[in-house]
Amino acid sequence: MSSNPWLAAVKRILALSQTGLAFQPGDYDRERYEEIRQISLDLLAHMSNAPVEQIISLLPYEIGYVTPKVDIRAVIFRGNDELLMVQEKIDHDRWALPGGWADVGYTPFEVAVKETLEETGLEVKAERLLAVFDKRKHDHPEEPWYVYKFFILCKITGGQILEQTTETSSIAWVRFDELSGLDLSVNRVTYSQINALLPFAGDASLPVLCD
């Protein structure tokens, strides 16, 4: 769970200022919301030891009510004891489930299918939602935005595992008893989340997990 309540508070204030601007306030209130937003950005920059310009680039100015970002991960089992994992180039070859940010114009299932093909070379069919986790409630590193994580069960229908892709340096089937030895990309998935998903390998009809 989030270990820095002050950072969580600043992110909440930033979201509230943006939401206030979404409702077309009068000039007086708009000026105050803009000032609150700028103060929040300054605080985020100070707390993360990054230039304000970098924080702004990570948090593009949104129009409308602020909502969580969505990260989608494909869960692909082989039998009852293996899970498909990829090594993320952008995170020093640490291991994760295939996936990424949800794209506008794609359904969650379509994102899981697209990301799996791009990161592994495998064609899959998305079968069902397994879990929706609030990233704040799990052992992920802090980041500027608020995130929901969707884990979607997928079944291989074609293609073949590539040695590497533009995003991944390796793709492999990992036995359940070997997962604890992996250097995980914990910004993408945690050990506790994987352990919560493993029972679906033996019974795909289990209830959806949700924070």
Instruction: Please report, for the domain that includes residue 172, its CATH number.
Output: 3.90.79.10
Which pLDDT score is estimated for 2? 45
Give me the number of domains the chain comprises. 2
CA dihedral 130, 118, 67, 28 (to 10 degrees): 180
Kindly state whether residues 84 and 48 are assigned to the same domain. Answer: no
What are the tens digits of pLDDT across the range 2-56? 456 777 787 778 778 777 776 778 888 888 888 887 888 788 777 766 676 666 5
- Name the DSSP letter for residue 204: T
Dihedrals phi, psi of 15, to nearest 5 degrees:
-65, -40
Q: CA separation (Å) from 36 to 56, 127, 166?
A: 14, 44, 40
Which pLDDT score is estimated for 29? 84
Environment class of residue 77 by beta-carbon count within 10 Å: exposed (0-12), middle (13-18) or buried (19+)? Answer: buried
What are the tens digits of pLDDT across the range 169-186? 999 999 999 999 999 999
Residue 38 is assigned to a structural domain of this protein:
yes
Residue 185 is assigned to a structural domain of this protein:
yes
Structural domain for 205, as ranges: 69-210
Closest to 143 (Cα-Cα) out of 4, 40, 32, 30: 4
Kindly state whether residues 43 and 79 are assigned to the same domain. Answer: no
Kindly state whether residues 194 and 128 are assigned to the same domain. Answer: yes
In this prediction, residues 116-139 reach a mean pLDDT of 96
SS3 of residue 119 by DSSP: helix
Q: Which H helix or E strand runs over 125?
A: strand 122-134
- Is-contact 133 193, C-beta < 8 A? yes
Closest to 153 (Cα-Cα) out of 189, 190, 99, 86: 99
Last-in-domain residue among 39, 58, 77: 58
SS3 of residue 202 by DSSP: coil
Residue 96 is assigned to a structural domain of this protein:
yes
What are the tens digits of pLDDT across the range 111-122? 999 999 999 999
Kindly state whether residues 82 and 150 are assigned to the same domain. Answer: yes
* 45 Cα distance to chain centroid: 22
Does 197 have pLDDT greater than 50?
yes
Kindly state whether residues 155 and 189 are assigned to the same domain. Answer: yes
Residue type, 204: A
Kindly state whether residues 106 and 130 are assigned to the same domain. Answer: yes
Give the chain's mean pLDDT: 88
Kindly state whether residues 202 and 173 are assigned to the same domain. Answer: yes
Residue 64 is assigned to a structural domain of this protein:
no
Kindly state whether residues 117 and 136 are assigned to the same domain. Answer: yes
Rounded-to-5 percentages of helix, strand, coil across the chain? 40, 30, 35
Per DSSP, the chain holds a count of helices (H) and strands (E) of 5, 9
Rounded percentage of the chain residues whose pLDDT exceeds 70: 89
Which pLDDT score is estimated for 59? 60
pTM of the full structure: 0.76
Does 161 have pLDDT greater than 80?
yes
Kindly state whether residues 158 and 197 are assigned to the same domain. Answer: yes
